[in-house]
Amino acid sequence: MSVQNVPVVEALNVKKTYMLGKVPVEALRGVNLRVEQGDFVSILGPSGSGKSTLLNLIGALDKPTSGTLRIDGVDIGKLNDNQLANLRIHIGFVFQFFNLIPRLNARDNVELPMSISNIGKAERKKRAIELLETVGLKERMNHKPAELSGGQQQRVAIARALANNPKFLLLDEPTGNVDSKTASDVLGLIQKLNKEQHVSIIMVTHDEKLAHQANRIVKVFDGEISADMVS
Ligand SMILES: Nc1ncnc2c1ncn2[C@@H]1O[C@H](COP(=O)(O)OP(=O)(O)OP(=O)(O)O)[C@@H](O)[C@H]1O
Ligand SMILES: [Mg+2]
């Protein structure tokens, strides 16, 4: 039996409509997208075009209103809340505003997803330190988020997103709140993870220059993909 290479993401005519009271808001109007293992894709588009909506669906944080979305071959529309939560353990998500736990230091923040997936304490600690070393923050592991710069917090968030060895990493404006030098450091790290560890990357941005660091650019406009091209 031959094993086919399953795409990490496959969206077929995906629509998402939010209800604002009684008014429907069509955030996605039929998106088709296929992301292969090892791809580095930028999703580029203006504010309100549907980028975060699409990323949240790919991250199994929400389900499409219609259409089919397969993550690693699994149709998420068919999963219950419990099954969705289990799937999310294997997806690395980096949010725009870091979302670190303020009272935990960097190492404990990185360990958190591993305790959810029942990895033993010694192993958790070892891996958290390794991950913080990967993102260049080993010497900051005892710092709490408020004791770190914006770029350092973002790198802790990336280390945390990698904790459970995700097949792919989703980043929503990962450099939206840091200066341009830090942005290029964070981007260098993302590229390194893609090249050296073959982590598939989907990165939302509205910065054209950043988007070009990916291998592929998917442009979103008004809830639809308006272009899909090699960078
Ligand atoms: N929970 C919600 N309820 C109602 N409408 C929503 C909701 N979330 C998003 N929308 C609407 O859906 C559309 C797409 O929003 P989305 O957040 O995906 O845009 P975006 O491309 O990520 O924008 P930005 O670059 O500003 O982050 C917008 O018109 C927005 O107002
Ligand atoms: Mg957004």
Place of tokens 């190492």: 107
**Cβ of 97 less than 6 Å from ligand 1:** no
What is the per-residue pLDDT across 76-93, written as a single tens digit (0 to 9) for each?
999 999 999 999 988 999
* 228 Cβ contact list (under 8 Å, min separation 6): 33, 216, 217, 218, 219
CA–CA dist 54, 58 (Å, integer): 6
Phi-psi region of 6 (alpha: psi -120 to 50; beta: other; left: phi over 0): beta
**Cβ of 205 less than 6 Å from ligand 1:** no
| 145 burial via Cβ count (<10 Å: 0-12, 13-18, 19+) | buried
Q: Rounded to the nearest 5°, which phi and psi values hold at 143?
A: -85, 140
Of all protein residues, the one whose alpha carbon is nearest to atom 26 of ligand 1 is 47
Question: What would the two tokens of residue 136 be?
Answer: 């260049």
| 51, 56, 207, best to mutate for ligand 1 pocket (most atoms within 8 Å of CB) | 51
C-alpha dist (Å) from residue 145 to 103, 110, 178, 198: 8, 12, 15, 28
Q: Are 125 and 111 in contact (CB under 8 A)?
A: yes
CA–CA dist 138, 142 (Å, integer): 9
| 181 burial via Cβ count (<10 Å: 0-12, 13-18, 19+) | exposed
Mind listing the pLDDT tens digit of every residue in the chain (231 residues)? 545 689 999 999 999 999 999 999 999 999 999 999 999 999 999 999 999 999 999 999 999 999 999 999 999 999 999 999 999 988 999 987 778 999 999 999 999 999 988 899 999 999 999 999 988 899 999 999 999 988 899 899 999 999 998 989 999 998 877 778 778 888 888 999 899 989 999 999 988 888 999 999 999 999 999 999 998
> What is the per-residue pLDDT for 202?
97
Q: Which residues surround ligand 2, an ion (CB under 5 A)?
A: 52
193-195-197 Cα angle (round to 5): 50
DSSP string, 128-174: HHHHHHHTT-GGGTT--GGGS-HHHHHHHHHHHHTTT--SEEEEEST
Of all protein residues, the one whose alpha carbon is nearest to atom 1 of ligand 1 is 18
**Cβ of 51 less than 6 Å from ligand 1:** yes
| 52, 62, 63, best to mutate for ligand 1 pocket (most atoms within 8 Å of CB) | 52
